[in-house]
Amino acid sequence: MGSNLVGGRVATPTTPLRCAVFISGSGSGMEALVNAQRSRRLPHETVLVVSNKANVPGLERASRLGLPSLVVEHRRNGENISREEHELEILKGLADHDVELIVLAGYMRLLSPVFLNEWHHRVVNIHPSLLPHFPGGHAHRDVLSSKTSITGCTVHLVDEGMDTGAVLAQRAVPVFESDDEISLSDRVKVEEHRLYPDVLTWIAEGRVHLTEEGVHVQDETDRFVC
Ligand code: GAR
């Protein structure tokens, strides 16, 4: 059975996996992750924040946290730059900071197959629903119109599709009749902020493998748990 280690190497709190967190907006997930990394001895650290939008609150958070950030907008002088040009600039920033794992946290742009090929097994995303239900950019709106009483969040590997990569972990969150998109998003984010640092720890500890049968996450007793 072929096996590929997600994240590329086994890290420790003294040799942490170097993460770049990609954002497009508020950056609350990025801040929660960095606070977890700094307050607990985790085997991963954030070394760079990448945003495809200038002047977003997440960049102010990064600056308050003392983190370097890289802004690569996809429009320049009123014109769209090519996907290739956009990603080449990002790739250069990742190389400059010796990044090992890409952590998407509210990054609202698809990465190209060429980019993902280069970063195979080393890009993860968090999505605010129980995938495969409610993919896309309006998960909470879609959850509320469906009238379901359970939603949640999903951490998954990133492939070329929209929120389609292999699922690493999920957490359920209740939907209340009184919810609007903001109250639901706030409740889901509480769970997201707990889950993401834990899943990155499993990856950094070398417990997540991609095999011919799919993704395997090992628990402390070496049992496959998903
Ligand atoms: C988070 O809820 C994240 O799951 C979601 O955007 C929010 C970003 O919030 N991501 C997606 O919808 C990706 N499809 P934040 O900027 O405050 O961390």
pLDDT digits (tens, 9 = 90+) for 50-94: 999 999 999 999 999 999 999 999 888 888 999 999 999 999 999
pLDDT, residue 3, reads 58
Residue 135 beta carbon below 6 angstroms from any ligand 1 atom: no
pLDDT, residue 221, reads 55
Classify residue 9: in a domain, yes or no: no
pLDDT, residue 222, reads 54
Q: What is the DSSP letter of 128?
A: S
Instruction: State the distance from the centre of ligand 1 to the C-alpha of 134, rounded, in angstroms.
Output: 13
For residue 135, the ligand 1 atom closest to its alpha carbon is 14
Assess whether pLDDT exceeds 70 at residue 28.
yes
For residue 126, the ligand 1 atom closest to its alpha carbon is 4
Those residues with Cβ within 8 angstroms of residue 132's Cβ, 6 or more apart along the chain or in another chain: 163, 164
pLDDT, residue 105, reads 98
Q: What is the domain extent for residue 23?
A: 17-217
Classify residue 12: in a domain, yes or no: no
Q: What is the DSSP letter of 9?
A: S
Please identify every residue annotated as catalytic.
127
Assess whether pLDDT exceeds 70 at residue 1.
no
pLDDT, residue 218, reads 86
Tokens of 9: 């190497």
pTM: 0.95
Instruction: State the distance from the centre of ligand 1 to the C-alpha of 191, rounded, in angstroms.
Output: 12
Domain count, the chain: 1
pLDDT, residue 212, reads 85
Classify residue 26: in a domain, yes or no: yes
Classify residue 156: in a domain, yes or no: yes
What does the pLDDT look like over 121-172, one tens digit per residue?
A: 999 999 999 999 999 999 999 999 999 999 999 999 999 999 999 999 999 9
Q: Is the dihedral of CA 129, 149, 195, 23 positive or negative?
A: positive
Tokens of 221: 């007793």
Q: CATH code at 141?
A: 3.40.50.170
Average pLDDT, the chain: 94
What does the pLDDT look like over 88-121, one tens digit per residue?
A: 999 999 999 999 999 999 999 999 999 999 998 9
Classify residue 207: in a domain, yes or no: yes
Question: Do β-strands 208-211 and 3-5 pair in parallel, antiparallel, or remain unpaired?
Answer: antiparallel
Confirm if 73 and 51 have CB atoms less than 8 A apart.
no
